[in-house]
Chains A and B, each alone.
Chain A
Amino acid sequence: MVDIANRQEKAAPQAQSAERKPLPRWVITLASISILLILWEIFGRRINPVFGSYPSAIAVAFWELAISGQLWSALYESLRPFLLGYALAILIGVPLGLLIGGFRVAEAALGIYVTAGYAMPLVALVPLLILWLGLGFAVKVSVVFLMALFPICINTWLGVVAVPKTLIEVGKSFVAPDLVILRRIVLPATLPYIMAGVRLAVGRAVVAMVIAEFFTTISGLGAVIINSANNFDTATMFVPIIILMLMAVGLNWLIGWVERRVAPWQAEIAGRDRE
């Protein structure tokens, strides 16, 4: 029997060896960034420094902010509410999405708030949040939390709905209780969707953090943006903006790395290359 198995069937090939080695992805990305920076440098220099800036000027501004220590304290002040709000959004958004997707009653009762909440013009609500929570740390956390919560929750919810019915029937046929099916079948099957939601939320959380810093106590990286803009110091203004964008890219990469760790089968099934 074993013999037949080995002779007649070979396991699906793991990965097809490429005949011609394509350019690694990071090389392409690096080339793209270099071209952008060079073009920006060339054309940026021709513009009045109040209306625009260019990479070398921004690099000088970065250096000045860095050695004065202003950058690091601003970064620390921004990251604290950002990370807490973002973490809370994951901790609450994922179970909430599982609940809404997994149970008909929860979907009917709560789904509408989540859908509506996703489109909520949060900026308009910030003054109200200030009335409730004051101008400090708490209100910043809550703004980041509210912006990040909904994409995570909705994605998790959609993921649960997309779980193949037959996989759930496998659980049922082995008499798995509902909660075990949720934890051992629905949750892992939903993981790719959850991770996509967590990624989407990074961008929204970064925007939320800056909004919070503009509208409440002016602090952190948001304060650096506002103050330098008010002084027509455009180069300095770009420093936190670029840092925030780099942070979002970095977090995205980190999440991708975590995803490959917790859900390695996903990339393998899709046959994506792992760079």
Chain B
Amino acid sequence: MGEVNFLDVSKRFSLRVDGEVHYVQALDRVSFSVRDGEIVALIGPSGCGKTTALRVAMGLDASSAGRVTVDGREVHGCGHDRGMVFQHAELLPWLSARQNVMFGLEMKGMRGTELHETAEKYLDLVGLKGSQNRRPHQLSGGMKQRVGIARALAIDPKVLLMDEPFGALDAQTRESLQAELLDLHGRTQKTILFVTHDLDEAVLIADRIVVMKNGRVEEIMEVPLKRPRPDLGVVRGTPEFAETRYRVWRAIHDGVTVH
């Protein structure tokens, strides 16, 4: 199981600009849900609150009002039921790929041979078994993010939370990682909530897309593409892809005059 519910979640930041205190309403009564095994994309212009929503769900930020639940249990701080994949992987530079994956497992209390075997299993799952002894600076951007995904998946969370995980990668690497993520999802059936600013990515990967604007949920859209989607190249050619992509684009640009 792994069901996430946002219930009227609000978050207000205060920041001081030239001596004046400004309040930023990062989240304004955000409500949506992610069903068990579903992939939901949070998309919207920068500053729309999508990353804040993810951080609140992870427990890295607290909400000002409302609550997030995972399988009915309210989120208070971080927990092993959620695994986070960071934007720039954020591997610990002094640890090898395998030790990075082991770090999360050790925090869960795993020790001994089980620890090593589990870490290796998940590195194998992301195709990095041969590079497990390399340190992060000896890995390419795409490999780093694979380790980041392995690290989050290894603790066997109910929900995978991903913060623009492929945003910093080049287009080719991004496409192969998108395909791999779908493949991993097919095998693990994890619930995934991910933040992106990439329209194509949202449509290719997600079952549903939550469009956010100014801290509010603007629209929630179903993606009418069936699973599995083994060949994303084929998916891109379907009329459903083009149509959904256009609908999301309209939702994001709504109110903006386009010439």
Question: Cβ of B176 and Cβ of A173 under 8 Å apart?
Answer: no
- Option from A2, A8, A180, A268 in Cβ contact (under 8 Å) with B142: A8
Question: Cβ of A11 and Cβ of B138 under 8 Å apart?
Answer: yes
- Evaluate whether A12 and B138 lie within 8 angstroms (CB atoms) in the complex, with A1-B183, A180-B107 already known: yes
Closest chain B CB from A274 CB (angstroms): 14
Question: Cβ of A11 and Cβ of B94 under 8 Å apart?
Answer: no
- Evaluate whether A175 and B80 lie within 8 angstroms (CB atoms) in the complex, with A11-B134, A265-B94 already known: yes
Chain A CB within 8 A of B240 CB: no
Question: Cβ of A2 and Cβ of B103 under 8 Å apart?
Answer: no
Chain A CB within 8 A of B158 CB: no
For chain B, the count of residues having a C-beta within 8 Å of the partner chain is: 41
Instruction: Give the nearest-CB partner of A191 in chain B.
Output: B94
Chain B CB within 8 A of A166 CB: yes
A14 to B58 CA separation, bound complex (whole angstroms): 35
Chain B residues, Cβ within 8 Å of A8: 142, 172-173, 176
Chain B residues, Cβ within 8 Å of A269: 93, 137
Instruction: Give the nearest-CB partner of B80 in chain A.
Output: A175
Complex interface residues of chain B between 44 and 77 (CB less than 8 A to chain A): 58-60, 77
Among A166, A173, A175, A189, the one with the most B-chain Cβ atoms within 10 Å of its Cβ is A173
Mark B73-94 against chain A: 1 for CB-CB distance below 8 A, else 0. 0000111101110101010111
Chain B CB within 8 A of A64 CB: no
A172 to B94 CA separation, bound complex (whole angstroms): 18
Question: Cβ of A169 and Cβ of B60 under 8 Å apart?
Answer: yes
- Option from A11, A170, A188 in Cβ contact (under 8 Å) with B131: A11
Chain A residues, Cβ within 8 Å of B88: 166
Chain A CB within 8 A of B236 CB: no
Question: Cβ of B137 and Cβ of A265 under 8 Å apart?
Answer: yes
Closest chain B CB from A64 CB (angstroms): 50
Chain B CB within 8 A of A19 CB: no
A263 to B94 CA separation, bound complex (whole angstroms): 7
Question: Cβ of B108 and Cβ of A174 under 8 Å apart?
Answer: yes
Closest chain B CB from A248 CB (angstroms): 28
Chain A CB within 8 A of B218 CB: no
Chain A CB within 8 A of B188 CB: no
Complex interface residues of chain B between 121 and 136 (CB less than 8 A to chain A): 126-128, 131, 134-135
Question: Cβ of B139 and Cβ of A11 under 8 Å apart?
Answer: yes
Chain A CB within 8 A of B216 CB: no
Chain A CB within 8 A of B146 CB: yes
Mark B149-180 against chain A: 1 for CB-CB distance below 8 A, else 0. 00000010000000000000000110010011
Question: Cβ of A5 and Cβ of B92 under 8 Å apart?
Answer: no
A1 to B60 CA separation, bound complex (whole angstroms): 32
For chain A, the count of residues having a C-beta within 8 Å of the partner chain is: 30
Chain B CB within 8 A of A4 CB: yes
- Evaluate whether A166 and B138 lie within 8 angstroms (CB atoms) in the complex, with A175-B79, A265-B93 already known: no
Complex interface residues of chain B between 12 and 60 (CB less than 8 A to chain A): 58-60
Instruction: Give the nearest-CB partner of B143 in chain A.
Output: A9
- Evaluate whether A170 and B93 lie within 8 angstroms (CB atoms) in the complex, with A12-B139, A175-B80, A265-B135 already known: no
- Evaluate whether A268 and B92 lie within 8 angstroms (CB atoms) in the complex, with A8-B142, A175-B107 already known: no
Instruction: Give the nearest-CB partner of B91 in chain A.
Output: A170
- Option from A5, A174, A185 in Cβ contact (under 8 Å) with B104: A174
Question: Cβ of A175 and Cβ of B135 under 8 Å apart?
Answer: no
Question: Cβ of B94 and Cβ of A9 under 8 Å apart?
Answer: no
A263 to B135 CA separation, bound complex (whole angstroms): 12
- Evaluate whether A5 and B93 lie within 8 angstroms (CB atoms) in the complex, with A12-B140, A14-B138, A265-B137 already known: no
- Option from A14, A167, A173, A180 in Cβ contact (under 8 Å) with B60: A173
Closest chain A CB from B191 CB (angstroms): 17
Question: Cβ of B137 and Cβ of A188 under 8 Å apart?
Answer: no
Chain B CB within 8 A of A33 CB: no
Question: Cβ of B80 and Cβ of A268 under 8 Å apart?
Answer: no
Chain B CB within 8 A of A80 CB: no
Mark A172-203 against chain B: 1 for CB-CB distance below 8 A, else 0. 11111000100011001100000000000000
Chain A residues, Cβ within 8 Å of B80: 174-175
Question: Cβ of B58 and Cβ of A173 under 8 Å apart?
Answer: yes
- Evaluate whether A9 and B60 lie within 8 angstroms (CB atoms) in the complex, with A166-B90, A265-B93 already known: no
29 residue pairs of the A-B complex, CB under 8 angstroms, read: A1-B127, A2-B127, A4-B176, A4-B179, A4-B180, A5-B143, A8-B172, A9-B173, A10-B140, A11-B131, A11-B138, A12-B138, A12-B140, A164-B90, A166-B90, A167-B92, A170-B92, A173-B78, A173-B83, A173-B84, A174-B103, A175-B78, A176-B107, A180-B107, A184-B103, A188-B92, A263-B94, A268-B135, A268-B137
- Ordered nearest first, which 5 A-B pairs have the shortest CB separation? A174-B107, A2-B127, A173-B84, A9-B140, A5-B127
